[in-house]
A and B are shown apart, each in its own frame.
Chain A
Amino acid sequence: MKILIAEDEKILNESMVSYLSGSGYVCESVFTYSAALEKIDNYAYDCIVLDIMLPGGTGLQLLKYLKEDRKTDGVIIISAKDGLEDKLSGFKLGADDYLTKPFHLSELSMRIEAIIRRRNFNGQSVITAGNIEVDIQSKTMLANKKNVDLTQKEFQLLLYLLINKNRILSKNAIARHLWGDDMDYADNYDFIYTHIKNLRRKIISAGGDDCIRSVYAMGYKLQTP
């Protein structure tokens, strides 16, 4: 899976590469409009992470160019501009997703995964970890080959953990992924604990691998054997 990251802020670009490489993606970094254009012209990517403000041009211009050239690369726009217009024009030009800075890398990883899955129609929609299988399309889950009934939130939580497997997800990141960015209730994340507890209970009682670990002070991770 090849990903192009067009972001002029070097440190941020580096962080994204570092995190996404760890998830098994091959990442290439560019920092300017012209460099991005050159890469797009010469190579095909599964997903392009596009910052709106680039030295020498805008991400939206690149997006327009991509679509006019009938490239099939998936595009996720990242921008510090919370402007609704940018978001709308981004989607209008054919972007697959839009993330407002700052964001959690785990969230970016999740969105990229979703874009790639949507684009590869013949790609498998089942993700596994140990004896746990999650079918994203039918939204079902098997643990030890047994069907496990999950609530919508539990399913979202499990998928988030699975896609970012072996990564620590902070409670902040989980809360924002499940309840949206306007989630403001940061004093107490007990309700996440409740969901995790229920999820683990269901997996264990079906005979699945108990692979969700809690990490002191920070959050949770799904550890694959």
Chain B
Amino acid sequence: MKLSAKYNRINIAATIAVFILGSVCYYFVLRYVLIHQLDQSLHSEQQEISQYVNAHGILPEIENTKEQKTSFAPVAVLPAKPIAKSVQLYNDLEKENELCRQYIFPLKAGNKDYTVTVTKSQEETEDLIQIIILITILMVALVLLVNFIINRKVLSRLWNPFYTTVNYIKGYHLSGSEGLHLEKTDLDEFSLLNESLNQMSLRAHNDYTVLKKFTENAAHEMQTPLAVIRSKTEVMMQGAELKESSMQHLKEIEDAALKLGKLHQSLLLLAKLENNQFVPGEKVDLKKIITEKINEKQDLFQARHLILQTSLEEVTVSFHTHLAEILITNLLNNALRYTPAGGQVMITLTGDALVITNTAFNDALDKSSIFQRFYKPENSPEGTGLGLAIVKEICVTAGFSIDYFYADKEHIFVIKFKSIY
């Protein structure tokens, strides 16, 4: 929900609640005041009658009008106090019940006791209350409407700098320019936001640069001794007529150095992927890359007597050429390494997915850990254990999804290009 919508909702609900409560109070207060006024006029009527009775000793002649009626009733026992009450009475003129206010008070005239009932119509008072309430409701509605419109128009304009900032951030990438350069706005809050974002992005960019430098330097510092080991074994190898056992040792040193180099490269690549040092966005022709890589490895497939089948459509995705090559290479290496001799490898490329299927050595692999680093299933040929972790990380970077299935003694890897977000 949008902030303005949420704000509007709360605002309107609160306003309505306040107005309803106010209206109720207003109604009762107004009613009380008006009825009090009515009672006052009834009371003055009582005084007039009392004065008359005191002066003359007899009941006055009353001329009943439409608005006011007075009646006398002799009683045996006088009530202690006068009573004021509202009652429904039948109106002869209008042939309907109407609300009336009655004031009943005791009166002594001569030796007789009477109760005097003065009745006044309350309808007019009610009408007045109704009109006042109606006007109030209309006013409330008007106030709400105006409030709503103002909020809508003004708020959306007030939030403009926010959306500008958001759009700017969306297009920003750490590896790109040096920090954000968001401008000041005439609103303090957004200026504060922009300034904080500028500072934060600058810090993030600096951290990023330091990390990038570090990984590059680490690469340099580690590859150099590795290069020394490899070059020395190579030079030693040429040493005239080495013993066979020495040759074996040298070979093992070279193998280990190669493996270490490979591991180091893979970990570095993973670090770079995690630092988002690759920005996908190039148009990459996947069919071309797959075909190239398959051609490079044709011999290897043949050497292992693997049957390679392909079904490739022309597919161009938004990706990163270097990453695409690594992805395909890793998947092919994987298939080469983990397919038993004479097995089958099937590569299918369609508009929305790349599927690689290969005959399995054993049973299904553990789906939850297959993409983890250094995952090595039992009884499997030795690899670095990083190939699929890299594949997974590349898919994450590119916004692809990757899944593993096992069916009919085959491992199936499915990469879907449709963005998973």
A interface list, Cβ under 8 A from B: 9, 11-12, 15-16, 18-19, 22, 53, 79-84, 100-106, 153, 167-168, 170, 172-173, 179-180, 182, 184-187, 190-191, 194-195, 215-218
The answer to whether A84 and B333 have CB atoms under 8 Å apart is no
The answer to whether A184 and B337 have CB atoms under 8 Å apart is yes
Task: Report B207-244 CB contacts with A as 1/0, cut-off 8 Å.
Answer: 00000000010011111101111111011011000001
B347 at the interface (CB under 8 A from A): no
Which listed segment binds A: B138-146, B150-158, B293-301?
A: B293-301
Indicate which residue in B228, B237, B254, B265 contacts A11 across the interface (CB closer than 8 Å).
B228
Indicate which residue in B231, B382, B387 contacts A15 across the interface (CB closer than 8 Å).
B231
Indicate which residue in A79, A170, A179 contacts B300 across the interface (CB closer than 8 Å).
A179
Chain A residue, CB-CB nearest to B245: A217
A19 cross-chain contacts in B, Cβ below 8 A: 231, 234-235, 238
Complex: A180 Cα to B268 Cα, angstroms: 19
B83 at the interface (CB under 8 A from A): no
The answer to whether B244 and A12 have CB atoms under 8 Å apart is no
B322 cross-chain contacts in A, Cβ below 8 A: 84
The answer to whether A101 and B227 have CB atoms under 8 Å apart is yes
The answer to whether A170 and B234 have CB atoms under 8 Å apart is yes
A217 cross-chain contacts in B, Cβ below 8 A: 244, 247-248, 250-251
B336 at the interface (CB under 8 A from A): yes
19 new A-B contacts at CB < 8 Å, known A22-B238, A80-B220, A217-B247: A11-B232, A19-B235, A80-B224, A82-B265, A101-B224, A102-B223, A102-B229, A102-B257, A103-B227, A104-B230, A153-B299, A168-B237, A170-B234, A170-B254, A179-B297, A185-B333, A191-B302, A191-B304, A218-B251
Q: Which of A168, A184, A195 has the most CB of B within 10 A?
A: A184
Complex: A15 Cα to B219 Cα, angstroms: 21
The answer to whether A101 and B234 have CB atoms under 8 Å apart is no
Q: How far, in Å, is B360 (CB) from chain A's closest CB?
A: 17
A18 cross-chain contacts in B, Cβ below 8 A: 235
B261 at the interface (CB under 8 A from A): yes
Complex: A7 Cα to B251 Cα, angstroms: 26
Chain A residue, CB-CB nearest to B298: A153
How many interface residues does B have (CB within 8 Å)? 50
B interface list, Cβ under 8 A from A: 216, 219-224, 226-232, 234-235, 237-238, 244, 247-248, 250-251, 254-255, 257-259, 261-262, 265, 268, 296-297, 299-300, 302-304, 322, 326, 329, 333, 336-337, 381-384, 387
Could you pull out 7 A-B pairs where Cβ atoms are within 8 angstroms? A18-B235, A82-B268, A102-B231, A104-B234, A184-B337, A185-B336, A218-B237
B244 cross-chain contacts in A, Cβ below 8 A: 216-217
Q: How far, in Å, is B385 (CB) from chain A's closest CB?
A: 12
Complex: A100 Cα to B221 Cα, angstroms: 13
B221 cross-chain contacts in A, Cβ below 8 A: 80
The answer to whether B219 and A82 have CB atoms under 8 Å apart is yes
Complex: A82 Cα to B227 Cα, angstroms: 14
Chain B residue, CB-CB nearest to A170: B254
Complex: A16 Cα to B235 Cα, angstroms: 9
Known: A19-B234, A102-B230, A180-B296. A190 touches B303 (CB 8 A): yes
Indicate which residue in B216, B226, B237 contacts A170 across the interface (CB closer than 8 Å).
B237
The answer to whether B333 and A182 have CB atoms under 8 Å apart is yes
Complex: A100 Cα to B224 Cα, angstroms: 10
Complex: A194 Cα to B304 Cα, angstroms: 11
Indicate which residue in B231, B247, B387 contacts A216 across the interface (CB closer than 8 Å).
B247
Q: How far, in Å, is B259 (CB) from chain A's closest CB?
A: 7
Q: How far, in Å, is A14 (CB) from chain B's closest CB?
A: 9
Complex: A167 Cα to B231 Cα, angstroms: 13
Q: How far, in Å, is A144 (CB) from chain B's closest CB?
A: 28
Q: How far, in Å, is B338 (CB) from chain A's closest CB?
A: 11
A184 cross-chain contacts in B, Cβ below 8 A: 262, 329, 333, 337, 383-384, 387
